[in-house]
Amino acid sequence: MIRGLGIDVIEVDRIRRAVGRWGEAFLYRVFTPAELSRGRVSAAMAERIAGRFAAKEAVMKALGVGRPGIGWQEIEITVDPMGKPEVRLTGRAAAMADRLGITAWRLAISHTRLLAIAQALAE
């Protein structure tokens, strides 16, 4: 059963500017150590960063909340060995998902040089 649906689109330049302005501080504020340690997120990869950012926003929308209701690092976006994006929740985000009866996530992320989009389906 569908419990929530969220979608987000972001201009890649917005992320590029944030990284340019705040550098690694931006990355460490938004992404978990696990996300950063995988080597899949770096300042040189603005499109991928924007995709992950959009995915976090889409998950927030699927949960029916926004900032500041949930911390950025309470939503972790990783990939399985085949490259399929996965959602892992902690803290308030996990508690909210439990209250809503969410037991599974479907996540799609795509990007071009200009835009990144993500859709999160909570089941």
Q: Which of the four pLDDT bands, split at 50, 70 and 90, describes residue 24?
A: confident
Give the per-residue pLDDT at 109.
97
Give the per-residue pLDDT at 67.
66
Beta strands in 1-123 (DSSP E): 4-11, 75-79, 85-89, 105-111, 115-122
C-alpha separations of 43 from 87, 93, 108, 122 in Å:
22, 26, 22, 29
Element (H, E) at 91: helix 91-100
Instruction: Please give the mean pLDDT across all residues of the chain.
Output: 92
Between 18 and 23, where is the model more confident?
A: 18
Give the per-residue pLDDT at 65.
85
Q: Per residue in 54-107, pLDDT tens?
A: 999 999 999 998 767 899 999 999 999 999 999 999 999 999 999 999 999 999
2, exposed or middle or buried, with CB in 10 Å at 0-12, 13-18, 19+?
exposed
Domains of the chain, start order: 4-122 (3.90.470.20)
Q: How far apart are CA 41 and CA 116, in angstroms?
A: 14
Q: Identify the weakest region by mean pLDDT among 27-31, 37-41, 59-63, 78-82.
A: 37-41
